[in-house]
Structure 1
Amino acid sequence: MRFSKCSAAAAIASIVALTIAPQARAEQPLKLGVCYDLSKAYTFATPQVSQAAQDLVALTNLKGGIGGTPIEVIVQDHGNEPQRGIECYEKLKREGVFIFDTLSTPVSIAMLPRVMQDKNILIQALVGRGDAVDGAVFGWVFPLGPTYWGQVANDIAYLKQVHTGNLRGVKIGFVYLDYPFGQEPIPILQTLAKVEGFELKLYPVPLPGNDQAGSWTQVRRDQPDHIISWLLAGAHVVASKEMKRNGIPMDKYISVNWLNEVDIANIGPEAAKGLKRGTNVAGGQDVPVIQEIIAELYRKGRGSGPEKNLKDVYYNTGLAMYSMILQGARQAAKLHGTPITSATMREGLQNITNYDANGLMAPVTVTSSDHGGGGKTRVEMWDGEKWVPQTEWIAAYTDLIWEVVRKSSSEYHN
């Protein structure tokens, strides 16, 4: 059989097209939209978290990306303003982004209805609606971590352990910023007080948390056995000064996860001794992925920010968040190949099983019904030099938490 020159050229062109098409598709990046507050309320954490996201993605791309697909992180400031968050969402959506992260409760809440309508992915680790762990209702929203409801319940479980299984007659104080972030755990605490028989005392702190004198004077008068604190950043430092002024031992203090090494330094490493915090990530640099990032990026001048941030637990928090996102992408590629779509990404996230990023965080299992991953945390204590775990990774009172979640989510209407 004889071929004309035109036929041969056409055949060669077809072969070449078939050869390079998969490669061309693979080179289209999977884009992650990081719409963060980089200028106002959350700047105590967002630089470290966004740096961790960029470092982890850079390390992943050095290894060939996800199924041959490179990852791209697009960072934009929303200033913790809902309207600017929506503008960030719409802009990045036009650029092909379908995975979004806000690290802001007001922005996440504002963005959520659009994400649900568009069937894109909204990551809201440690922020946003607590009931969004209910995947049956919030099918495109992934908290990927403990709610504040679950975290405070785990703190109570720890205190029950301290009191050998019996909290009856124990007095627990709750010091909190008097706005939604601080108020959110209160209904759970009130319910657990009835269940476990402890006395709950509430101590609101006005925003921004600089004036706490009245609250701690009342704490001194009431003399609770333990103090659970829902404060942020510099407010912990103010609290430590008020505790010292009122003669309240630091070992009574259990913080929400938003307390980092900068806060410890500002309190004073020795003065902070005995202080505790709830957390869903391991602190410090003795974690394989951080050691690999140091070796492959920072030792070679490829890091995305100051190396000192790698010693901050908020950097570890960012690594944990984006490790879960990338694990979801791996599962999506495993199940459906590439390119990854919003639908396959959702399925990938819902197939994360017992994943702890090699010791970086509490094991996470995400399902179609539980988008939070199980809600495990642990309590750590500062011993003057480092954080020492006081519990295993635990998820306590889960039936009670899910009753609250389902009641709240049933009232959502998009």
Structure 2
Amino acid sequence: MRSKLLSIVAGLGLALAGLQSAQAQAQPIKFALCYDLSKSYGFVTPQIAQAVNDYAKILNQKGGIEGHPIEILVQDQGNEPQRGIECYEKMKREGAITFDFLSTPVSRAVLPRAMADSNVMVQSFVGRGDAIDGDVFKWIFPVGPTYWGQMANDIHYIKTKANGNLKGVKIAFLYPDYPFGQEPIGVLKTLAAKEGFDLQLIPNPMPGNDQSAAWTQIRRINPDWVVSWNLASMHVVAAREMKRNGIPIDKYIAVNWLNEVDIANIGAESAKGLKRGTNVIGGQSHPLIQQIIKDLYEKGKGSGDRKHLSDIYYNTGLAMYASVFEGARLAIKQNGWPITPDKMKRGMESLKNFDAEGLIAPVTVTAKDHGGGGKTRIDMWDGTKWVPQTDWFSAYDDVIQEIVKKESSEFAKNKQ
């Protein structure tokens, strides 16, 4: 009788262990997207959120990440720092393993809390440039090019077009006069002093609908190049003003936030020669996008409007979360379930030469470098498509690192 009872207990124990194992396998990994879906960044956030949800669906069809389904938590923060903080606190309660705000002012506001809580914060394409310093910003991951690195690469490209000598070259920097636009100014001033080019800063008040005064000033300066940190329809306004002032559009190098909608609004032929910096490939030829079309959109299961799949912003969303999802996979594979913020951090710091099968510039993230290398390339619109003008590259790494260390040490000092 005793033997039979022990056998039953053992059987129950095995059954319970199996049930617990199955339950563990079913536990989701939650990623929080606290985005501005209604105000300043509404031109880009819906496409990025759509891409992230589509990517999650594709991975979930394959069993998720190491057997765990992905759950994407999305909430609007209206580009308001306080609402961003409230969203962070809510998503924290809901068990998110990473937090993403896709807004420089909101990211800056939430960063101290994420650091204090030891939570992983995704900061691709936004936020503090010095956050690539993993020694100081241990929980912040600006994977990809910061605005500092992107600007440095733009200047290097201009240098190659000037036969390696920037002395006397005139560069105008047109930017919306708020934190996002102001972010690269320090790097620009440092490079101007180093290389001897003539830098002209041209601030433009938000929302950027009236740039006439700025472009009148640019016409008088007659720069060799205009580097623009415009956003969305601001590019359309700029193109119109360039034409009105007789400034060739092939002098214009845009920040990465310029998409196919902007090109259509400028006019495909009128935009010919326009350039932008990017670390993401455009178009729909990538295998992941082809799979998304086949498995989701052709079956009516997509997360949004199919037209967005022709948009570089959609590809940007895939690129951002290719790194995040791979980091989560490495976290579980290397350190087991349950996934924790510390495991997620170490997973992100294990990314090595990761390019998502050619979707993005290769990134290698370490405990010291949370940016991954800062590579971009320059693409040019040829009237029908974007054509790469360079390979993936990063430039002035020593200059960027010097500025990063200076700024991050100030943050660390003020935090104490």
Whether the TM-score (by the shorter chain) exceeds 0.5 is yes
Q: Secondary structure at the match of 2:32?
A: strand
Residue 75 of structure 2 corresponds to: 76
Residue 130 of structure 1 corresponds to: 129
Residue 58 of structure 1 corresponds to: 57
In the alignment, is residue 238 of structure 1 matched against residue 237 of structure 2? yes
Alpha-carbon distance in structure 2 between the residues aligned to 1:187 and 1:138? 20
Deviations 1:298-326 (A, max 9, x none): 11221111111111100011000010000
Residue 175 of structure 1 corresponds to: 174
Contact residue 67 and residue 337 of structure 1 kept, 8 A: no
User: Counterpart amino acid of 2:140?
Assistant: V
Residue 305 of structure 1 corresponds to: 304
Shift in Å at residue 49 of structure 1?
0.4
Residue 316 of structure 1 corresponds to: 315
Residue 163 of structure 2 corresponds to: 164
Correspondences of 1:231-310 after superposition (within 5 Å): 231-310=230-309
Deviations 1:312-348 (A, max 9, x none): 1000110000100001011111211222111100000
Deviations 1:191-235 (A, max 9, x none): 111221211112111111111111111111111111100111111
Alpha-carbon distance in structure 1 between the residues aligned to 2:65 and 2:47? 24
Alpha-carbon distance in structure 1 between the residues aligned to 2:83 and 2:223? 42
Deviations 1:111-152 (A, max 9, x none): 111111111110011111111111000100101111111101
Alpha-carbon distance in structure 1 between the residues aligned to 2:410 and 2:154? 28
Shift in Å at residue 12 of structure 1?
1.3
Residue 101 of structure 1 corresponds to: 100
In the alignment, is residue 90 of structure 1 matched against residue 93 of structure 2? no
Shift in Å at residue 69 of structure 1?
0.9
Shift in Å at residue 3 of structure 1?
4.3
Residue 8 of structure 1 corresponds to: 7
Residue 335 of structure 2 corresponds to: 336
User: Counterpart amino acid of 1:34?
Assistant: L
Contact residue 67 and residue 338 of structure 1 kept, 8 A: no
Alpha-carbon distance in structure 2 between the residues aligned to 1:117 and 1:351? 23
Alpha-carbon distance in structure 1 between the residues aligned to 2:316 and 2:86? 26
Deviations 1:163-189 (A, max 9, x none): 221112211111111122111211211
Contact residue 82 and residue 110 of structure 1 kept, 8 A: yes
Alpha-carbon distance in structure 1 between the residues aligned to 2:81 and 2:169? 41
Alpha-carbon distance in structure 1 between the residues aligned to 2:295 and 2:376? 30
Residue 221 of structure 1 corresponds to: 220
Residue 117 of structure 1 corresponds to: 116
Residue 206 of structure 1 corresponds to: 205
Alpha-carbon distance in structure 1 between the residues aligned to 2:78 and 2:214? 29
Contact residue 105 and residue 179 of structure 2 kept, 8 A: no
Quote the RMSD (CA, aligned, Å).
Answer: 1.1
Deviations 1:237-296 (A, max 9, x none): 100000000011110000001111111011011100000000110111111111111111
TM-score using structure 1 length: 0.98
Alpha-carbon distance in structure 2 between the residues aligned to 1:344 and 1:351? 11
Contact residue 97 and residue 344 of structure 2 kept, 8 A: no
Shift in Å at residue 5 of structure 1?
4.6
Deviations 1:363-383 (A, max 9, x none): 010000110111001110000
Residue 28 of structure 1 corresponds to: 27
Alpha-carbon distance in structure 1 between the residues aligned to 2:76 and 2:265? 27
Shift in Å at residue 86 of structure 1?
1.1
Shift in Å at residue 4 of structure 1?
4.9
Contact residue 69 and residue 338 of structure 1 kept, 8 A: no
Contact residue 239 and residue 249 of structure 2 kept, 8 A: yes
Residue 361 of structure 1 corresponds to: 360
Alpha-carbon distance in structure 1 between the residues aligned to 2:381 and 2:358? 20
Alpha-carbon distance in structure 2 between the residues aligned to 1:217 and 1:242? 9
User: Counterpart amino acid of 1:54?
Assistant: N
Q: Which range moves more in the overlay, 225-234 or 332-341?
A: 332-341
Alpha-carbon distance in structure 2 between the residues aligned to 1:171 and 1:85? 39
Q: Secondary structure at the match of 2:400?
A: helix
Q: Secondary structure at the match of 2:216?
A: helix
Contact residue 328 and residue 351 of structure 1 kept, 8 A: yes
Residue 383 of structure 1 corresponds to: 382
TM-score using structure 2 length: 0.97
Residue 392 of structure 1 corresponds to: 391
Alpha-carbon distance in structure 1 between the residues aligned to 2:90 and 2:17? 33
Alpha-carbon distance in structure 2 between the residues aligned to 1:112 and 1:183? 19
Residue 183 of structure 2 corresponds to: 184
Identity over the aligned pairs, expressed in percent?
A: 62
Residue 371 of structure 1 corresponds to: 370
Misfit runs of 4+, over 2 Å: 2-9
Gaps of 5+ in 1: none
